[in-house]
Structure 1
Amino acid sequence: MTAATDPTPDPAPSPRSADGRPFRLEYAAISDVGRVRKDNQDSGYAGPWLLTVCDGVGGAARGDIASSTAVQQLRKLDEEPAPGLVDDDLIGLVSHALHMAHDEIGHLVDHDPTLNGTSTTSTVGLFDGSKLTVGHVGDSRAYLLRNGAIHQVTHDHTFVQTLLDEGRITEEEAKTHPHRNLILKALDGTRELEPDLFIVDLAAGDRLMFCSDGVCGYVDDPRIADILATGTPEYAAVELVRVSLDSGSTDNVTCVVADVVPSDTVPSPGLEPQMVGAAAELKRRTTKTGQMTALFRGHRMGDTGELDPIDEEIPDGAIAADPEEMRYALQAPAKHPRLRWTFGLMTVLGIVWIAVATAFVWSQNQWYIGEQDGNVTIFRGVPTTMVGFDLSEPYQTSDLKVADLAETYQHQLEDGIHSKDLAGAQEKVQSLADQNAADSGSGS
């Protein structure tokens, strides 16, 4: 779990209502499949206590399933928080919901291995009547418009963002970087989840916007601020989607907009929780036990109908490689480098130990004749060392002096005279003794 710094200015205090909650939300959500993709892999949700956008990753691995599964799990947060909850309690609720969504995706992959590789970004905000508790994984974003100034609340978990943070590239270079879509964190049910979790204090008149990268990847912050400064939440959401597509967005486009208003204002007529994108459009068939057995993939799934659809189909193969296939290609940096280094060292040492043990066992079936303290000696093993271990030991020492032998035999003993077994080594020693005796007799 990582905590992020709230980049927004402190709001002025507001009077509280009778129930202790000074504000409520007016909200709208919209998701469009876009003008290139056939399926919508985005999911979004807006309710009185919850705002969230999830962008499915995986292309053929069905990112729509990941995003819809996450939103279906996260929407359970859309209940009025109990009074008296402190910041840590609210952060705990959001963290738990994200981990539950993460685990649910893992269960789906376990149930259907063809989903292996699916994942989703997730940016979620839990509203408690005065502040917003944000949980964030990936590159979907949350923005806050306050007094005409826009603030990006979340920090992208992308490869390019790390290069920006390290000062290795500029903002302009980031816009055209070939790996600008690669994310480092996602809900995937397999890797350890460490979302950003933090609190944003709110003020009356604030406008919140959550979006997938189909919006923020194609529309710059000043233009987003201009659009957010106009009309109702619904108007702003629809306009952001329209401008994103007109700006050349090739991705699905999802936007959730909410106004922070005094709690005593009259709600807009017909204001109800809204679910959009894959979460709204995927048709599930369940067994009696409630387990998902099949999923329907509809054409232009998640098209809101707010915008005119493209007239002609994009021919198969027009896009050489679907960027979604590689969007989660990079892995998150090691979270415990010292632990990983220690584990790696232990693994190497274990391999070395096994090699030494194996060599030692083999050496105990080998025999050779050498010299020790000036005497001809039978050794068990081989005349060498490995990683500081001597692979032989004296087994039987004779009375035969090496110095009494002919020079030829002395040189052979320096390198070791190998034998296939103990009996052969003993016979060789006896042969050296007999030869030495014969040489001594002939010399006298």
Structure 2
Amino acid sequence: MTLSLDYATLSDVGRVRRNNEDSAYAGPHLLLLADGMGGAAAGEVASAAAVQVIRRLDTAEISGEDMIEALAGAVHRANERLSELVEEDPEREGMGSTVTALMFDGKRLGLAHLGDSRAYRLRDGQLYQLSHDHTFVQSLVDEGRISQEEAFTHPHRNLILRVLDGRPDSDPDLEMLDVQAGDRLMLCSDGLPDYVSDEVIAASMASGTPDSVVVDLITHALEAGSNDNVTVLVADVVETEPASGVQPQLVGAAAELAQGSTGRGEPTVVVRTSGGDGHGGGGHGGGLDPEELRYAPRPPKRFAWLRRIAVLLVVLGLIGGGGWFAYSWTQKQYYVGTDGDYVAIFKGIEADLPGLSLSKVYERQTLQVDKLPTYSREQVEANIQADNLPGARSIVAELQHTAAECAAKPTTTPKPSTPVPSSKPPVSKPPVSTPPVSKPPVSSPPASTAPTGTASPSTPVDPDDCDGVR
């Protein structure tokens, strides 16, 4: 048994809205509806772009479970297209569109759904909703907090939680559905079910042709006071081959783009509009357009890479700030060391990082290292830390004093050989030679009166260390 679709679609701007943000497409293998949102002209752009991308599936020869993969890929490509449009014009930030699509291979249906547009099936007089609303109110119903009847009149029934908006988390619901001859399928934007009950919808779908049903349903919505665009697509599943020459139908915001694409590889379509009964855009609504509030509960998620870069910059800033603080601290430290053959005051600390020196010569002294006694020279060569610059200069002053003491020592200290000749004359007079023998210790005090010659403030100089002075 060969099954095919007999379809019709129609879109009306409504009694209040001045522009139509809905788009719909009906073809032999694809039924598609998108309801744009975002204010200004962005909603029209979003729905039209989504339909223009996804409707290309109608020409593809895909069947069975492959339809699910094809629908998912098409929705993601449409999502990427919306992202590109926002990057081209930042004023479109915040725009989005619902997507409800049924793909038909003659035996089964593949469903892709995102948002609050709806897909219905009427079988044996029973109306069944195929899609699941991604709205705040529906989440309350799912949790058992309100009834379905209360949801119908809830003041926040338009708040949508998931939508096609160019963000990476816009994944649709996907499902395979059975189909049989006699089924009547219907897709609609929220302008119909928000104002018309399921009982009225079922009664309208129970009889008539697809053409008459779409008109009847839109009329019910407008008479019920719908202040939104209303778009309806109805398709009958029949046991006959598609009639020769049947053309796809395109309505709403996408129709203008379709008219400009003839001859550039896009399928030929029949553009349909509402029947000119005075409903289209002539009214002026007061107050805030409810479409402007549909994204209200959603935090901004676009350009996550920008937020990651911002976080990275903050982290790098903290690291850089800490590094600069540490470097600044090192440049306030001083120590005394050697610069070649001379004593020098260094600024910084005795440590180096790859590509960065943490110390440099601040003041090179005229004091030569080899003029210092052994102990002081070893201290300077190992570096003497100072609390600050005055402390470093004080250390240098003491080193200079020590060097001066050692330089003066040879002229003030008796030579060890002088007592030997002086001891020879009194050999024949033992009693007389005794006093001179005890005199050498008396001549040593001048050499021991130089405790100020130190290599550091806390270390006294051993007089014997001056022997290491070169």
| TM superposition score category, shorter chain reference | 0.5 to 0.7
Distance in 2 between residues matched to 1:158 and 1:347, nearest whole Å: 36
Q: Are the equivalent residues in 2 in contact too, given 1:185–1:332 (CA < 8 A)?
A: no
Cα 1:311–1:129 change in 2 (3 A) is closer
- Could you tell me which residue of structure 2 aligns to residue 108 of structure 1? 85
What is the percent sequence identity of the aligned residues? Answer: 44
- Could you tell me which residue of structure 2 aligns to residue 272 of structure 1? 247
Matches within 5 A, 1:3-402: 17=1, 22-79=2-59, 81-82=61-62, 85-87=63-65, 89-263=66-240, 271-281=246-256, 303-305=273-275, 307-309=277-279, 313-314=283-284, 318-331=285-298, 353-367=319-333
1:424, CA displacement in angstroms? 2.5
Computed over aligned residues only, the root mean square deviation of the Cα atoms, in angstroms, reads 4.5
1:44, CA displacement in angstroms? 0.8
1:117, CA displacement in angstroms? 3.0
1:183, CA displacement in angstroms? 2.1
Distance in 2 between residues matched to 1:39 and 1:226, nearest whole Å: 30
Q: Please say which of residues 135-144 and 115-124 is displaced more in the overlay.
A: 115-124
Cα 1:345–1:37 change in 2 (3 A) is closer
Question: The residue matched to 1:133 in structure 2 has which SS?
Answer: strand
1:70, CA displacement in angstroms? 1.7
1:234-261 Cα offsets, whole Å, 9 max, x none, are 2221111111111111000000111112
**2:294 counterpart letter in structure 1:** R
**1:52 counterpart letter in structure 2:** L
Cα 1:302–1:253 change in 2 (3 A) is farther
Q: Are the equivalent residues in 1 in contact too, given 2:76–2:171 (CA < 8 A)?
A: no
For the pair shown, which has the larger CA radius of gyration, 1 or 2? Answer: 2
Cα 1:343–1:184 change in 2 (3 A) is farther
Q: Are the equivalent residues in 2 in contact too, given 1:67–1:279 (CA < 8 A)?
A: yes
Higher relative contact order (CA 8 A, sep 6+): 1
1:327, CA displacement in angstroms? 2.0
Question: The residue matched to 2:231 in structure 1 has which SS?
Answer: strand
**2:275 counterpart letter in structure 1:** G
Cα 1:93–1:332 change in 2 (3 A) is farther
1:24, CA displacement in angstroms? 1.1
1:52, CA displacement in angstroms? 0.8
Distance in 1 between residues matched to 2:333 and 2:160, nearest whole Å: 61
**2:331 counterpart letter in structure 1:** N
**1:320 counterpart letter in structure 2:** G
Cα 1:311–1:344 change in 2 (3 A) is closer
**1:228 counterpart letter in structure 2:** M
Distance in 2 between residues matched to 1:346 and 1:311, nearest whole Å: 49
Q: Are the equivalent residues in 2 in contact too, given 1:40–1:303 (CA < 8 A)?
A: no
1:272, CA displacement in angstroms? 3.1
Q: Please say which of residues 302-311 and 252-261 is displaced more in the overlay.
A: 302-311
Distance in 1 between residues matched to 2:330 and 2:153, nearest whole Å: 65
1:270, CA displacement in angstroms? 7.0
Q: Are the equivalent residues in 2 in contact too, given 1:67–1:278 (CA < 8 A)?
A: yes
Cα 1:86–1:132 change in 2 (3 A) is closer
Q: How many residues align?
A: 359
Q: Are the equivalent residues in 2 in contact too, given 1:211–1:256 (CA < 8 A)?
A: yes
Q: Please say which of residues 194-203 and 155-164 is displaced more in the overlay.
A: 155-164
1:219, CA displacement in angstroms? 1.3
Q: Which runs of 5+ in 1 are unaligned?
A: 1-16, 291-300, 335-341, 370-379, 382-416, 432-436, 438-444
1:366, CA displacement in angstroms? 3.6
Distance in 1 between residues matched to 2:16 and 2:36, nearest whole Å: 16
Matches within 5 A, 1:404-415: none
**1:305 counterpart letter in structure 2:** G
**1:66 counterpart letter in structure 2:** A
1:371-396 Cα offsets, whole Å, 9 max, x none, are xxxxxxxxx89xxxxxxxxxxxxxxx
Question: The residue matched to 2:291 in structure 1 has which SS?
Answer: helix
Distance in 1 between residues matched to 2:281 and 2:84, nearest whole Å: 39
1:214, CA displacement in angstroms? 0.6
**2:186 counterpart letter in structure 1:** M
Q: Are the equivalent residues in 2 in contact too, given 1:61–1:114 (CA < 8 A)?
A: no
Cα 1:167–1:274 change in 2 (3 A) is same
Cα 1:211–1:205 change in 2 (3 A) is same
1:131, CA displacement in angstroms? 0.9
Normalising by structure 1, we get a TM-score of 0.67
Distance in 2 between residues matched to 1:36 and 1:148, nearest whole Å: 33
Cα 1:424–1:61 change in 2 (3 A) is farther
1:310, CA displacement in angstroms? 6.7
Distance in 2 between residues matched to 1:326 and 1:101, nearest whole Å: 23
